[in-house]
Amino acid sequence: MALWRWRELLVACGVEPASNGPDIAGISIDSRSLKTGDLFVALSGDPGPRFSTSSTIARDGHDFVQDAQSAGAAGILVSRDTGCALPEIRLENTLDGLWHVGVAARDRMQGKVIGITGSSGKTTARSWLENILTQQAMTHASTGSFNNHWGVPLSLARMPRDSDYGIFEIGMNNPGEIGPLSELVKANVALLLNVLPAHLQSFDSLDAVRQEKLSITRGLDDDGILVAHEDISLEGVSHKKVITFGFSPSATLSAVVSSAANQTQVQVTIDGSQHLFRLAVGGAHRVLTSLGCLGAVYALGADLEGACEAMASLEAPSGRGNL
């Protein structure tokens, strides 16, 4: 099944669907990794004033449209004439177009979505949740560290319509970045792993970082659930449905850790119910990440025992704590 019908993309971008076009197999912003049948989105290097980001680059995707055509692109999303013969969608701002497609992808998906943020561990948690949930149902997840103003809408735009679960990282470098991304993702479950003194050069205090991280709740509806480390103050958060995780008995997911046969053994109490799992990776931070993942599974109403069984095979993603 095609990822997108051409008319769907036109409607998503607010363009009058005057004619039919090709089915689209995928969405790409990089001509070097583009696959046959993809839509190539020619992003400008400058995201514009509405994104307070330092990630401005000199290259313009319009300069690589011919490369995309040679690589097998089925169509292009551009803001100006490029001399390319491929079917095109033309908008004033191609990043806006990518956001429009991301919105449409989220709206057509009838499954449940998890948004993940935190000062550290986001990519590990996303990878682990993908591993766990893929064993239970059709799961789509962002790749790499696609967690910013272009990575999040791109990851959404790549989500198949029949996905049961979607998992997305939401990151930030500056104030005001997480809220709009969380509203784009519209997560059913928001996972906040931790608040640490990272990116303090852009914030007045650690509490300002905390407030920014908690703005992930802006994308939750009334039935949405925040899963957060027990030590994070929720002052200023009006959202009522909260699950906590940690090592104290008062946490919703309360863990006791021991070592067994070169593995970390974790005994978890979840609302009075006992669960046991093992991790092949060590360290308190890994245990906390695993608890956050289990809390997200619990919030989704997914299979907890299946998740516990899957924990034993989890590894740290490449470059994430590996030596």
Mean pLDDT of the chain: 93
pTM attached to this predicted model = 0.94
Residue 273: count other Cβ atoms within 10 Å of its Cβ. Answer: 9
- The confidence band for 323, taking pLDDT boundaries of 50, 70 and 90, is very low
Rounded to whole angstroms, the Cα distance separating 197 from 210 reads 10
**Computed from CA positions of residues 9, 56, 53, 227, in that sequence, does the dihedral angle turn out positive or negative?**
positive
For residue 145, name the pLDDT band (cuts at 50, 70, 90): confident
CATH assignment of 6-101? 3.40.1390.10
Which tens digits make up the pLDDT trace of 209-257? 999 999 999 999 999 999 999 999 999 898 779 999 999 999 999 999 9
Pairing of strands 225-229, 242-246: parallel
H or E stretch including 269?
Answer: strand 263-270
Q: Per-residue confidence at 322, pLDDT binned at 50, 70, 90?
A: very low
pLDDT, tens digit (0-9, with 9 covering 90-100), for 159-185:
999 999 999 999 999 999 999 999 999
Judging by DSSP bridges, how do beta strands 273-279 and 253-260 pair with one another? Answer: unpaired
What phi, psi does 229 have (nearest 5°)?
Answer: -60, 140
Number of neighbouring beta carbons within 10 Å of residue 99: 23
Question: What residue segments make up the domains of the chain, in order of their start?
Answer: 6-101, 109-311
Burial class, 7, CB count within 10 angstroms (exposed 0-12 / middle 13-18 / buried 19+) = middle
Q: What is the pLDDT of residue 314?
A: 95
Q: Does residue 133 contact residue 297 with C-beta atoms inside 8 Å?
A: yes
Q: Once rounded to an integer, what is the mean pLDDT over residues 254-273? A: 91
CATH code for the domain defined by 109-311: 3.40.1190.10
